[in-house]
Amino acid sequence: MYNIIKQAHSGIAYLALILLAIAAISAIIGYASKREFKESDRKIALFALIFTHIQLVLGLVLYFISPMVVSLGDAMKHPMMRLYALEHPLINIIAIVLITIGWSKHKRVVESDKKFKFFAIFYTLGLILILSRIPWGVWLG
């Protein structure tokens, strides 16, 4: 069971990151070019939101069944254990909260520039935070 969830968490991460990057870049370009917010912009952002939330659920399940997660006292002594036990989950939860805030805020405005601005800020911050705490050596190795 652990290996299945771990593989799903790793595999869906690619989709989540790609969709999040596309949504953030599209929002930045849309905001800078002052173009009209379209249904396709909303769908890209929605799929990014959905896949990051799927990642959160898989990550939380993985957190509780993973042999890599040890007590916080033990984890603080080893950088890789600290990453798995504290930094990766905490920072990614914060990132997903920011992404969710961006989605919620965009629904409350009608002006295209404000919609793009919310997505550009919150989705980009979420993406940066997620990228900062991926265990790259393990994930790509």
Q: Tens digits of per-residue pLDDT, 102-117?
A: 999 999 999 999 999 9
Q: Is the pLDDT of residue 70 over 70?
A: no
Domain that holds residue 33: 2-140
- pTM of structure: 0.92
When pLDDT is cut at 50, 70 and 90, the band that residue 140 belongs to is: low
Strands (E), the chain: none
- Of 53-62, 84-93, 130-139, the range with the highest mean pLDDT is 53-62
> Which residue, 133, 112, 135, is CA-closest to 31?
112
Number of domains in the chain: 1
pLDDT of residue 89: 93
When pLDDT is cut at 50, 70 and 90, the band that residue 84 belongs to is: confident
pLDDT of residue 141: 57
Q: Cβ–Cβ contacts within 10 Å for residue 29, how many?
A: 12
